[in-house]
């Protein structure tokens, strides 16, 4: 509900809002939106990116957010493994709209949850009975 208006054309008011809408677009394989939200400097490099539909994006945690930087952890499943992408992203305003400029990956690894860990998606279920089985 919070990201759909931005994906459909409303302006993101902050870099964090754009980050959240981009995550939603990754989760729904909305390549057009992802590609149009790159900065003009990086758009040519990324304009033909296609989502890996074998990845299932599961959750987003914002670690910190300033005016033009967002540090986040994005969780996704690929095959039978769970991964975390931990990145610090830079955003710019171009023609009055926030755009993703570049990011520095802090960590991008497979992760293991201890036995009986509650799923990070917020369902209240154990991870192995929730997102691992989707």
> CATH number for the domain including 79?
3.10.450.50
Spatial separation of the C-alpha atoms in residues 31 and 44, rounded to whole Å: 14
- Span 15-71, pLDDT tens digits: 999 999 999 999 999 989 998 999 988 665 555 556 677 788 888 999 999 999 999
φ, ψ (nearest 5 deg) of residue 72: -145, 165
Structure confidence at residue 77 as a pLDDT band (50, 70, 90): confident
Spatial separation of the C-alpha atoms in residues 96 and 92, rounded to whole Å: 10
Spatial separation of the C-alpha atoms in residues 80 and 110, rounded to whole Å: 10
Token couple for 71 = 């540090």
Do the beta carbons of residue 50 and residue 29 sit within 8 Å?
no
Spatial separation of the C-alpha atoms in residues 59 and 130, rounded to whole Å: 13
Report DSSP state, residue 97: E
pLDDT > 90? residue 91: yes
Please state the domain count of the chain: 1
- What is the domain extent for residue 94? 4-133
The sign of the torsion formed by the CA atoms of 105, 70, 61, 98 equals negative
């Amino acid at each position: 509900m919070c990201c759909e208006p931005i994906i459909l054309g409303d302006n993101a008011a902050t870099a964090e809002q754009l980050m959240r809408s981009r995550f939603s677009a990754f989760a729904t394989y909305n390549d057009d939106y992802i590609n149009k939200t790159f900065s003009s400097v990086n758009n040519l490099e990324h304009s033909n990116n296609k989502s890996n539909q074998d990845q299932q994006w599961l959750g987003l945690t914002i670690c910190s957010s300033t005016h033009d930087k967002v540090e986040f952890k994005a969780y996704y499943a690929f095959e039978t493994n769970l991964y975390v992408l931990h990145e610090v992203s830079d955003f710019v305003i171009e023609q009055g709209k926030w755009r993703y400029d570049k990011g520095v990956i802090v960590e991008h690894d497979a992760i293991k949850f201890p036995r009986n860990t509650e799923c990070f998606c917020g369902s209240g279920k154990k991870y192995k009975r929730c997102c691992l089985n989707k």
